[in-house]
A = this chain, B = another copy of it.
Amino acid sequence: MPATIRDVAKKAGVGLGTVSRVLNQSPQVSDRTRQRVQDVIDELDYSPNPIARRLSLGKTHTIAVIIPFFTRPAAVERLRGITYSISGTEYDLIVANIETPERRIAAFRELARRERVDGVLIISLPFSEKDAELFIKSGIPLVFIDVNDPLLHDFNRIVVDDIEGGRKAVQHLLDLGHTNIGYISDVLEDPFPFSASRARFNGYRQALEAAGISPCPELHRHGEHSRSDAKIITAEMLRMPDRPTAIFAASDTQAIGVLETVREAGLRIPEDLSVIGYDDVEIADHLGLTTVRQLLVESGEKGVRLLLEVMQDPLREAECETLPTELIIRNTTAPPG
């Protein structure tokens, strides 16, 4: 059995309030008793029971992160940033991985409770008014990362300028001389209408329209966020009579699927088809994939920092920081053959 504060108090011959005070660095303890207590603490290898502490303080000392498909490379990087920032604080992190709509609902209901967490980080997940209600009612501090939704004006968030990112990608293709540009994205509707995909799509459209090209609906296809779905879509695009000379994929994972299918079809990259991805995940560099880099790790770090601030001062004005994107040109894009 671990020692308790009472054991320490008894052994040190002081009241347990005093022990509590040295534990919490209260200034109102004489150096002599502080030292005495500290010695006993060391001797007993005592460490306060965090659970009891939490109950007494009325705080859970835990932060939850709700993240879809946390094993995707981009999500992992965000999570990495989060764990970096959170270690060193007194907070525990619990992560809710969402892979189905049911889990999403369950997680929201479970975690929008003061009894469970002190703050919540929501990553890359679409958010409805009903969800918002849940959190507003519970009054739990909330920070969004990579959720860019007009609905969210009054919330704290770290967003990526995906419209600009999408525009940059397409502009790059345009600059190279492409006019027939396909776009492969995640599903834009249920179950997870990732707002990022939509924003990138808007960037795609904007760039095209600015160049006087009217986006052809045939060239915009979506599927599950996976290599395999991207492959299927790519194959369809390649079969089009007037097939695109370049493809912009909403993520590197999907871009890799594109590369695969194109090569299997016996076409050369970038001579026969240009491909550009999004995220700049680690392997992109190895593959020579041209892509749009976003600050994944930083987004996690900043999210935690912001959440901590909000938790400290729940009434502060909502803040929205936009992270930049950067075009990384490698070897999968070139002028059309």
Contact = CB atoms under 8 A, between A and B. Distances in A.
Interface of A: 1-2, 47-52, 54-55, 60, 62, 70-71, 76-77, 79-80, 83, 87, 92-97, 103, 113-116, 138, 227, 256, 259-260, 283, 286
Contact of A95 (B60, B83, B116): B83
Contacts of A55: 49, 51-52, 55
Copies in the complex: 2
Closest 4 CB pairs of A and B: A49-B115, A71-B80, A51-B54, A51-B55
A268 to B, nearest CB: 16
A48 to B, nearest CB: 8
Contacts of A95: 83, 93, 95
A145 to B, nearest CB: 17
A77 B71 contact: yes
Nearest to A48: B115
29 contacts: A2-B115, A2-B138, A48-B115, A49-B55, A49-B115, A51-B51, A51-B54, A51-B60, A62-B92, A70-B80, A70-B83, A71-B76, A71-B77, A71-B79, A71-B80, A76-B76, A83-B97, A87-B96, A87-B97, A87-B103, A92-B92, A92-B94, A93-B94, A95-B95, A227-B286, A256-B283, A259-B286, A260-B286, A283-B283
A80 B95 CA distance: 11
A93 B94 CA distance: 6
A115 B76 contact: no
Given A227-B286, A286-B256, A47 B94 contact: no
Residue from A2, A48, A71, A256 whose CB has the most chain B CB atoms within 10 Å: A71
A94 B97 contact: no
Contact of A113 (B47, B87, B94): B47
Contacts of A1: 114
Contacts of A50: 115-116
A71 B51 CA distance: 29
Contacts of A48: 115
Nearest to A72: B76
Contact of A51 (B115, B259, B260, B286): B115
A114 B76 contact: no
A260 B256 CA distance: 17
A96 B2 CA distance: 22
A127 B52 CA distance: 31
B83 A2 contact: no
A95 B116 CA distance: 17
A94 B90 CA distance: 13
A259 B288 CA distance: 13
Contacts of A115: 2, 47-51
Nearest to A137: B45
Contacts of A92: 62, 92, 94
Contacts of A77: 71
A52 to B, nearest CB: 5
Nearest to A297: B71
A92 B286 CA distance: 37
Residue from A70, A115, A286 whose CB has the most chain B CB atoms within 10 Å: A115
